[in-house]
Amino acid sequence: MSDSSSGSVPPHSVPPLSIPPLSIPPLSIPPQWVIEKKRDKEVLSEEEIRGFIAGYTDGSIPDYQMAALAMAIYLNGMTFEETAFLTDAMMRSGELLDTSSLTRPKADKHSTGGIGDKVSLVLGPIAAACGLDVPMISGRGLGITGGTLDKFEAIPGYRTDLSEAEMIKVIQACGCSIVGQTRSLAPADKKLYGLRDVTATVPSIPLITASIMCKKLAEGIDSLVLDVKWGRGAFMKELDQARDLASNMVQVGRSMDKKVSAVITRMDQPLGRSAGNAVEVQESIDCLKGNGPEDLMEVTLALTAEMLVLSEVADSPEAALAQCQAAIDSGAALEKFRHMVELHGGNPAVIDDPTVMTAAQSIEPFAARNAGYVTDVDAEAIGRGVLVLGAGRTRAEDGVDHAVGVSQLVKAGEFVEAGQPLCLVHANPASQLEEAHDWFGKAFSLSDEAPESNASLSLITETLR
């Protein structure tokens, strides 16, 4: 049952609802002079950054000059002010979502991504049930980390390609809409991210900051919580790198008058007990029914609570956590999920019957050879195994198999008998099952000795407020 009259939003039923891009004066100097300045470690001016990005967006500055500037930024960095101008210029390269018709505080979360990270599916509905409007523009999986859009698309009928106007209508009705990036949102980032990918310029703090923040700030939100992950299964392997990125993004957001905080979380083991697409939808629904795994719930509730505090819907993290828990216990958050799925054209029967999602042809246990205590489950190896099963993609243009993945993963600290499953492997004929098994074989470490109780260690390293 929905919490108001529902049904999916018909495509293109209302005119576009967005704020057009700013018109930026073109560069008054040749682009190579800007590249030269950054090559020589000089600081670029606001006009130079805005003019360069505007020229790259309209095609008057070619890829090779943008690639040269990206490499100069990669090598020589940017000051905080330059990064903020770059973020703003990229945000204004396209339309901004006009959220002025939304009446509740507008907040979102961004994660730098990890294995089994299904937090958005659970957090969006809880935040909506607690009084926020959540316009969440998400991405697809690439490499070993999954993407929120791929997970939602495992639900039959769920449309991730709503127009801005459709998205606003969904949020007005249920408080939350999770969609993909439209062509008109931050087009400079779309072009530049593809270029960075093939010019070895992705791992640069100013470029990552501008890329992530320009898309999130184009959503027209008041508050943003960042989940910056570090560890084996994360983009940032070291804590110091994660801290640098988090603090850069927080400062840039604040300089643009947004309330921003960052929660730095560990990503060494998969989050929750599943990795894939349909299997993660099912686990997310379990979370909303109050049966989520402890690690996943810890991260989800901490991030949602931070959104409530930033939005001044709760006056302390403790009060916010209690509100989130109440939204789960009362069924209000599950109801928001059901309503959002319906409004996106998805089949809401998925909530009570996961078999409406296509299942894999074989679901077999991956068994322990010996008895022992699980001392480690390597997130990266699980991610690689799930990727070769077909749940992820190695190139942006590839499709994914929504049905494959792993479920019922054991956790560090648990004891298994020889022959007991370490996880269930969901595979289809196109899955590279042998290679996947090799990865799963590397992922699990067992020992005769009970590990020190690290299972109870918090995944939350620190919060930057």
Closer Cβ to ligand URA, 87 or 177, answer by number: 87
Task: Name the 3-class secondary structure at 322.
Answer: helix
Tell the burial category of 384 from Cβ atoms under 10 Å away from its Cβ (0-12, 13-18, 19+).
Answer: buried
344 carries an active-site annotation: no
Residues 154-213 that bind ligand URA (CB under 6 A): 193, 202, 207-208, 211-212
From the CB of 392, what's the least distance to ligand URA, in Å?
A: 15
| Annotated active-site residue in 88, 108, 117, 189 | 189
Q: How far apart are CA 221 and CA 259, in angstroms?
A: 9
Residue nearest to ligand URA (CB): 211
Question: Comparing C-alpha atoms, which of 184, 153, 227 is closest to residue 399?
Answer: 153
Q: What CA–CA distances, in Å, run from 413 to 114, 232, 307, 420, 451? A: 21, 19, 31, 15, 6
Smallest distance from ligand URA to CB 431, Å: 27
> Is the CB of 197 or the CB of 315 nearer to ligand URA?
197
- Minimum distance from CB of 109 to ligand URA (Å)? 14
Residue ranges of E strands in 146-237: 176-180, 223-230
For 21: left if phi > 0, alpha if psi spans -120 to 50, otherwise beta; the answer is: beta
Nearest distance in Å: CB 50, ligand URA: 20
Active-site residue identified among 196, 266, 338, 384: 196
Task: List alpha helices for 59-163, DSSP H.
Answer: 63-76, 80-91, 119-129, 148-152
For the question of residue 189 being annotated catalytic, the response is yes
Counting residues that bind ligand URA (by CB under 6 A) gives: 6
What's the first-to-final CA gap in the chain, in angstroms?
38
Q: Assess whether 110 carries a catalytic annotation.
A: yes
The single residue of 6, 211, 274, 407 carrying the catalytic annotation is: 211
Q: What is the DSSP string of 235-289?
A: SB-SHHHHHHHHHHHHHHHHHTT-EEEEEEEE-SS-SSS-EESHHHHHHHHHHHT
| Residue 267 sits in the site that holds ligand URA (CB under 6 A) | no
Residue 384 C-beta: closest distance to ligand URA, Å: 19
Indicate the burial class of 452 (C-beta count within 10 angstroms; 0-12, 13-18, 19 or more): exposed
Closest distance of CB 215 from ligand URA, Å: 6
Is 431 designated active site?
A: no
39 is catalytic: no
Q: 202 vs 256, which CB is nearer to ligand URA?
A: 202
Q: Which is nearer to ligand URA, 137 or 287 (CB)?
A: 137
Question: Which residues form the interface with ligand URA (CB under 6 A)?
Answer: 193, 202, 207-208, 211-212
Which residues does the annotation mark as catalytic? 110, 189, 196, 211, 215
